[in-house]
């Protein structure tokens, strides 16, 4: 049992490590591929070779980033099997399909047209090259669509039924996978990639201006990156709002953790800044915050678009107060969920025995009991309600980091774009402004990772919401094996990240010593 | 469409992906030659030629995994979660490959070109051998048990339980290594044939490749014929299932030989495959200058691998036999997804010919001009 807990923890760490590294590279691929496609389109329309040089410069950075994104991605897909084999069986019938479709429809598109984009200059016609660049960008987004549909399904499992004979869930409605949760998540994640890439382009371009190099190239890049990034950020905020509403509806515990809220109320305030009290538990009377600055009625507006709406906290949800379809109701407490989860599991055992004995009547009775309690199946693995609470502090702080940095970047984009058009001398001459732009690049990565931490830590301890906790999703492997592979990946990914950053820095430094606009484009 | 038909169809799709993957391993074969190339400009041209294709191999592997997950989730769960170290080593070899082409010659790459070339070699050797080992388990089995009821055991809620060596026993099994060796040397054969076709760097380069082809062919034949001999004389299980539950397991002497002679389609595919591989190799070896051998050998490889997959999965044969508990063996019947999921994916698979068509078109466009000298890529 102890090794089981350790395996679960190491498997979680390994998956988190891989996902965090993967998400360092993916958003830049998603956004920068669109930015280079726009630049190349302008080149083809204007026949101005400066746009070709600009496209090629950013495409090289895209290629460097693309490779490592692909490398970390393969591990993620196979880790579902290697580390979460029970999960792969229990819901593979539903979860596997989007992954297979992703491979067939998206990966080949990216790989095939990516080869043309990176290696096809002078080998194919300019129009076909441009088409390939766009298809690579579209392929990357289609790839994101399928994996995000799969991820959303884990957080809001729909379109399936439980097959007791096989002891697994099976799909019964493919289109249900494209739920509001999935659509919001897809646009939120992909557009955050645009926002990140815009900041990346502006930051790197400001480095050129800081070194007083390639002024026109830098301003041109800032304008394209700025517009695409701003569009991405605005739409990201819009879909973020949609996501908050969906989380309130489908994962109220995650929302409560995001807020560090234990006892909710009507017209619930939003903590804009605060310190979580580590001694606070769901069943004690400690104050949840050591200090807080709140916006009155803010959470009710955010979560339900109604300033007087009730929003439940962690203790409320555990005690059985919840919001379903906009109504505050007394629902099943977590003690009851655990009890009914165990009833569901017992019924499943009885079903299996009755099936083996050929006892049709007992089979039907067990099946009925199972169906009545199946929605709480996963709770049967818990011993106490506390086990069903996600890590509150990490979720709370990550959410604030994401929102605050997101708000800063809105201001950043507006200012940079205004200056690029109306007062470019500020951008070209003010060192402090250039430094702010450069520092904004790592801040944007922190913002982006914080968003995923909210999404993934906030849904713990579930791999599949309400049905399968992480402890029942793992593989039969010793914790020592997972510990070794964790450190192998940690070292390998860190070395490769350092190599990537090193190559990018050298490439940019080298470019600052050249005249990009007048480079040979043969 | 009946469930049986869909299961057969998806095993065919997995076989096709397996066949394409092994053909595309010419990329890995080329990587395994990189450490002793006599001329640095040749190294650069080899990297250029195979570097434009590495993503196709990589993507095919990922899609193979995705299709296996979606169509046969119990296989995915049992094999990947059980033979942990086998799959982890394969994955690590592909991770280091993915960055090496882009990073190896770039300033600031932290490790230096030589290390990235060693990464490529590592992927070329370990990736090929271990993929061969993984496929050999389709015939020679793994040490595992499957108990769906274990899902409800709160102390150890794991459906598939593997031997405590977690894949190392498969890596060090000599029978598996026969196929591992065959795949590795076949990849080198295909690489030599592909590079003769894609690179036009003069007589010396051609003759150097031809020498590589001689050696690789000899070693490939030794490993492949030994594997075939062991396979066709091995016992195997015949597993009957009803409603995805195993009802009868029987040990059948010379199981795979029987599969071969009782299924004319498998026999014809295998013979066609082997003949095409040999034709591609022999025409290249015994013609003064011949650069089209890759196409014959490529098609032959594809047919041979598909035939082997069909021997493993059809004819009531478990494609992952359990040597610990024969009743736990995985067949395309008891390991598959539901009828609804297989049917949904079947609709999507209608797009596969379109995908193949654009890959082929792009391949022709990019390879239209032979590589005659090292080029700058960006």
The answer to whether the CB atoms of A105 and B355 lie below 8 A apart is yes
Taking only the tens place, the pLDDT of each residue in A235-263 is 999 999 999 999 998 999 999 999 999 99
Our CA-based measurement puts residue A324 at a distance from the nearest CA of chain B, in whole angstroms, of: 30
Q: Which domain holds residue A200?
A: 2-255+395-514
Position A110 pLDDT exceeds 80 = yes
Q: How far apart (Å, rounded) are the C-alpha atoms in residues B56 and A339? A: 51
Whether B240 has its CB under 8 Å from any CB of chain A: the answer is: no
Whole-Å CA distances, B98 to A139, A505, B123: 18, 20, 10
Inter-chain contact B102–A59, Cβ cutoff 8 Å? no
Q: Shortest Cα distance from B215 to chain A (angstroms)? A: 32
Q: Are B81 and A82 in contact (CB under 8 A)?
A: yes
Return the structure tokens found at A136.
């690579």
Q: For A197, phi and psi rounded to 5 degrees?
A: -70, -35
Burial class (CB in 10 A: 0-12, 13-18, 19+), B222: middle
Instruction: Label residue A2 by pLDDT band (50, 70, 90).
Output: low
**How many Å lie between the alpha carbon of A83 and the closest alpha carbon of chain B?**
6
A residues 87-116 near B, CB within 8 Å?
A: 88-90, 92-97, 99-105, 107-116
| pLDDT tens track for A145-192 | 999 999 999 999 999 999 999 899 999 999 999 999 999 999 999 999
Centre a 10 Å sphere on the Cβ of residue A376 and count the other Cβ atoms it contains: 22
Residue A522 has pLDDT above 70, yes or no: no
Q: Which residue of chain A has the CA closest to B337?
A: A93
**Is residue A116 domain-shared with residue A193, that is, in the same domain?**
yes
Q: Which residues of B touch A97 (CB under 8 A)?
A: 70, 337, 341, 344-345
The answer to whether position A471 is within a domain reads yes
Q: Is the pLDDT of residue B177 over 60?
A: yes
3-class DSSP assignment, residue A468: strand
For residue A518, the model assigns a pLDDT of: 84
- On whether the CB atoms of residues B329 and B88 are closer than 8 A, the answer is no
A463, pLDDT greater than 60: yes
Site of tokens 């402090």: A432
Query: Which pLDDT score is estimated for A520?
Result: 57
Which whole number is the average pLDDT over A353-382?
A: 94
- Residue B241 reports pLDDT greater than 80: no
> What integer is the mean pLDDT of A197-215?
97
pLDDT exceeds cutoff 80 at B122: yes
Same domain, A354 and A469: no
Residue B378 has pLDDT above 80, yes or no: no
Residues A31, A65, single domain; the answer is: yes
Residues 6+ positions from A432 with CB-CB distance below 8 Å:
none
* Residue among A88, A114, A503 whose CB faces B77 most closely: A88
Element of type H or E holding B247: strand B245-252
Instruction: List the 466-485 stretch of A: residues with Cβ below 8 A of B.
Output: 471-472, 474-478, 481, 485
Confidence of residue B151 (pLDDT cuts 50, 70, 90): confident
Q: What's the pLDDT score for residue B213?
A: 97
Q: Please tell me if residue B71 touches chain A, with a CB cutoff of 8 Å.
A: yes
Residues A351 and A204 in one domain: no
Contact A320/A330 with Cβ under 8 angstroms?
yes
Q: Cβ of B81 and A476 within 8 Å?
A: yes
- Answer with the one of A324, A349, A384 that is the final residue of a domain: A384
Specify the pTM.
0.94
A224 and A361 housed in the same domain? no
Ramachandran region of residue A165, left (φ > 0), alpha (ψ -120 to 50) or beta?
alpha
Same domain, yes or no: A279 and A425:
no
Instruction: Provide DSSP, A77-109.
Output: HHHHHHT-HHHHHHHHHHHHHHHHHIIIIIIHH
3-state secondary structure of B106: coil
Work out the pLDDT band at A327, boundaries 50, 70, 90: low
- pLDDT for B289-302, tens place per residue? 999 999 999 999 99
Interface probe with A: pick from B24, B76, B120, B353, most Cβ of A within 10 Å = B76
Domain membership flag for residue A325: no
> Are A108 and A246 part of one and the same domain?
yes
Is the CB of residue A157 less than 8 Å from the CB of residue A465?
Answer: yes
Position A248 in a domain: yes
Inform me whether the pLDDT recorded for A521 exceeds 60: no
What ranges in A358-391 are assigned the alpha helix state H? 360-373
CA pair distance A444, A404, nearest whole angstrom: 11
Q: How far apart are CA A460 and CA A474, in angstroms?
A: 14
Phi, then psi, of A290 in degrees rounded to 5: -80, -35
Report yes or no on A490 lying in a domain: yes
Report residue B202's pLDDT band, with 50, 70 and 90 as the boundaries.
Answer: very high
Residue A161 has φ and ψ, to the nearest 5°, of -140, 160
Count Cα atoms within 13 angstroms, Cβ side, for A119. 25
Which residue, chain included where needed, has tokens 């070896």?
A: B285
What three-state secondary structure class fits A329?
Answer: strand
Q: How confident is the model at residue B266 (pLDDT cuts 50, 70, 90)?
A: very high
The pLDDT tens digits for A38-70 are 999 999 999 999 999 999 999 999 999 998 998
Contacts of B108 in chain A (CB under 8 A): 499, 502-507
Q: Kindly report, residue by residue over B6-48, the tens digit of the pLDDT.
A: 999 999 999 999 999 999 999 999 999 999 899 999 999 999 9
Q: Which A residues 171-210 touch B at CB under 8 Å?
A: 171-172, 174
Give the helix ranges, DSSP H, for B233-315.
255-262, 264-286, 293-313
d(CA A477, CA A25): 30
CA separation for the pair B324, B316 (Å, rounded): 19
- Nearest CB to A166 within list B97, B244, B359: B244
* CA–CA distance, A376 with A320 (Å, rounded to integer): 13
Checking if the pLDDT of B377 tops 60, the result is: no
Residue A133 and residue A226 in one domain: yes
Q: Per-residue DSSP letters for B53-71?
A: THHHHHHHHHHHHHHHHHH
pLDDT tier at A329, thresholds 50, 70, 90:
low
Range A470-498 average pLDDT:
95
**Measured between CB atoms, which of B69, B352, B359 is closest to A81?**
B69
Q: What is the per-residue pLDDT for A519?
A: 74
List CB contacts (< 8 A) between B79 and chain A.
81
Whether the bond between A461 and the residue before it is cis, its omega within 30 degrees of 0, is yes
What's the pLDDT band for A23 if we cut at 50, 70, 90? very high
Contact between residue B348 and residue A104 where contact means Cβ atoms under 8 Å apart: yes
Report percent pLDDT > 90 for chain A: 88
pLDDT recorded at residue B1:
84
- In this prediction, residues B196-215 reach a mean pLDDT of 95
Whether A306 and A343 map to the same domain: the answer is: no
pLDDT band at A337 (very low <50, low <70, confident <90, very high): very high
To probe the interface with B, which of A15, A21, A74 has the most B CB atoms within 10 Å?
A: A74
**Among A residues 381-410, those touching chain B with beta carbons less than 8 Å apart:** 381
pLDDT at residue A321, rounded to an integer:
81
- Asked if residue A329 belongs to a domain, the reply is no
* Chain B residues within an 8 Å CB radius of A77: 62, 65-66
Q: How far is CA A154 from CA A251, A350, B289, in A?
A: 11, 27, 57
Instruction: Compare all CA atoms of chain A with the CA of B162 and give the residue at the minimum distance.
Output: A476
Structural tokens at position B158: 């794991």
- Residue A511 structure tokens: 């470019």
Same domain, A63 and A99: yes
Shared-domain flag, residues A108 and A189: yes
Is A355 in the same domain as A491? no
Q: In b/e form, how buried is each residue of A163-196, taking b as 16+ CB within 10 angstroms? A: ebebbbbbbbebebbbbebbbbbbbbbbbbbbbb
Domain boundary (A346, A364, A384) is at A384
A405 within a domain of the structure (yes/no)? yes
Nearest neighbour of A59 by CB, restricted to B73, B79, B378: B378
Task: Kindly state the helix (H) or strand (E) to which residue A149 belongs, with its residue range.
Answer: helix A126-155
Domain ranges, ordered by start, for chain B: 3-141+169-356
Which two structure tokens, joined as six digits, stand for A177?
Answer: 């996978």
B329 to chain A, any CB pair closer than 8 A? The answer is no
Total number of domains in chain A: 3
Q: What is the mean pLDDT of chain A?
A: 93
- A56 contact B CB<8A: yes
């Amino acid at each position: 049992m102890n090794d089981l807990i350790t395996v679960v923890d190491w498997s979680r760490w390994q998956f988190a490590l891989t996902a965090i590294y993967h998400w360092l590279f993916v958003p830049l691929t998603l956004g920068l591929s669109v930015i280079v496609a726009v630049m190349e389109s302008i080149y083809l329309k204007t026949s101005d070779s400066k746009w070709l040089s600009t496209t090629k410069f950013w495409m090289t950075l895209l290629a460097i980033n693309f490779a490592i994104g692909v490398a970390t991605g393969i591990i993620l897909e196979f880790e579902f099997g290697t580390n979460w084999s029970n999960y792969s069986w229990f819901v593979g019938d539903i979860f596997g399909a989007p992954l297979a479709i992703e491979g067939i429809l998206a990966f080949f598109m990216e790989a095939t047209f990516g080869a043309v984009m990176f290696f096809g200059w002078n080998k194919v016609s300019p129009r076909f090259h441009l088409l390939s660049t766009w298809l690579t960008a579209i392929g990357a987004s289609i790839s994101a669509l399928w994996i995000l549909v799969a991820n959303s399904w884990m957080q809001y499992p729909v379109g399936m039924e439980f097959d007791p004979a096989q002891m697994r869930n099976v799909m019964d409605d493919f289109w249900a996978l494209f739920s509001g949760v999935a659509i919001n998540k897809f646009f939120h994640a992909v557009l955050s990639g645009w926002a990140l890439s815009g900041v990346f382009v502006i930051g790197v371009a400001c480095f050129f201006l800081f070194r007083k190099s390639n002024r026109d190239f830098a301003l041109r890049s800032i304008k394209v990156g700025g517009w695409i990034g701003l569009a991405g950020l605005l739409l990201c905020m819009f879909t973020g709002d949609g996501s908050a509403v969906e989380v309130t509806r489908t994962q109220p515990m995650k929302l409560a953790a995001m807020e560090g809220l234990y006892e909710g109320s009507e017209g619930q305030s939003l903590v804009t800044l605060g310190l979580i009290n580590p001694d606070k538990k769901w069943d004690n009377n400690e104050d949840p915050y050591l200090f807080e600055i709140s916006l009155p009625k803010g959470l009710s507006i955010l979560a339900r678009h109604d300033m007087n709406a009730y929003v439940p906290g962690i203790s409320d949800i555990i005690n059985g107060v919840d919001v379903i379809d906009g109504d505050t109701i007394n629902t099943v407490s977590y003690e009851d969920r655990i009890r009914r989860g165990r009833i569901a599991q017992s019924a499943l055992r009885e079903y299996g025995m009755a099936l083996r004995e050929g006892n049709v009547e007992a089979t039907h009775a067990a099946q009925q009991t199972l169906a009545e309690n199946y929605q709480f199946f996963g709770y049967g693995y818990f011993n106490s309600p506390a086990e069903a609470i996600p890590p509150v502090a990490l979720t709370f702080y990550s959410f604030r980091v994401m929102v605050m940095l997101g708000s800063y970047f809105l201001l950043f984009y507006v200012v940079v774009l205004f200056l690029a058009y109306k007062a470019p001398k500020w951008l070209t001459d003010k060192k402090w402004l250039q430094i702010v732009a450069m520092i904004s690049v790592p801040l944007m990565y922190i913002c982006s990772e914080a968003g995923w931490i909210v999404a993934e830590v906030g849904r713990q301890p579930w791999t599949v919401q309400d049905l399968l906790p992480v402890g029942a999703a793992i593989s039969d492997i010793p914790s020592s094996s997972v510990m070794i592979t964790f450190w192998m990946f940690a070292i390998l990914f860190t070395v490769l990240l350092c190599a990537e950053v090193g190559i990018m820095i050298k490439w940019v430094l080298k470019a600052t010593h050249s005249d990009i606009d007048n480079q040979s484009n043969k | 469409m009946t469930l049986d038909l869909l299961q057969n169809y998806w095993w065919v799709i997995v076989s096709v992906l397996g066949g394409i993957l092994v053909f595309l391993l010419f990329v890995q074969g080329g990587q395994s030659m990189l450490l002793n190339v006599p001329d640095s400009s040749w190294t650069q041209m080899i990297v250029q030629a195979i570097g434009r294709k590495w993503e196709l191999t990589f993507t095919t592997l990922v899609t193979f995994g995705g299709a296996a997950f979606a169509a046969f989730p119990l296989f995915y769960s049992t094999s990947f979660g059980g033979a942990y170290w086998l799959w982890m080593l394969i994955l690590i070899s592909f991770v280091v490959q993915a960055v090496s082409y882009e990073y190896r010659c770039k300033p600031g790459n932290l490790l230096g070109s030589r290390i990235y070339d060693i990464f490529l070699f590592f992927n070329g050797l370990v990736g090929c051998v271990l993929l061969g080992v993984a496929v050999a388990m389709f015939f020679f089995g793994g040490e595992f048990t499957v108990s769906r009821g274990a899902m409800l055991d709160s102390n150890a809620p794991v459906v598939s339980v593997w031997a405590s060596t977690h894949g190392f026993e498969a890596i060090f099994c000599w029978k598996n290594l026969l196929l591992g060796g065959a795949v590795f040397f076949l990849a080198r054969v295909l690489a030599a044939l592909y590079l003769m076709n894609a690179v036009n760097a003069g007589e010396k380069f051609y003759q150097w490749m031809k020498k590589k082809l001689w050696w690789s062919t000899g070693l490939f034949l030794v490993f492949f014929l030994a594997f075939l001999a062991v396979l066709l004389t091995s016992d195997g299980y015949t597993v009957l299932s009803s409603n995805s539950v195993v009802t009868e397991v029987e040990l059948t002497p010379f199981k795979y030989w029987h599969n071969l002679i009782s299924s004319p389609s498998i026999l014809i595919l295998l013979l066609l495959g082997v003949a095409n591989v040999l034709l591609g190799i022999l025409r290249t070896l015994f013609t003064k200058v011949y650069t089209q051998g890759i196409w014959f050998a490529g098609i032959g490889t594809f047919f041979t691998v598909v035939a082997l997959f069909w021997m493993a999965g059809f004819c009531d044969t478990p494609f992952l036999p359990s040597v610990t508990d024969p009743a736990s063996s995985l067949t395309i019947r008891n390991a598959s997804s539901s009828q609804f999921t297989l049917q949904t994916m079947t609709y999507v698979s209608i797009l596969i010919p379109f995908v193949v068509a654009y890959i082929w078109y792009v391949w022709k466009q990019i390879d239209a001009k032979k590589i005659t000298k090292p080029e700058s890529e960006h």
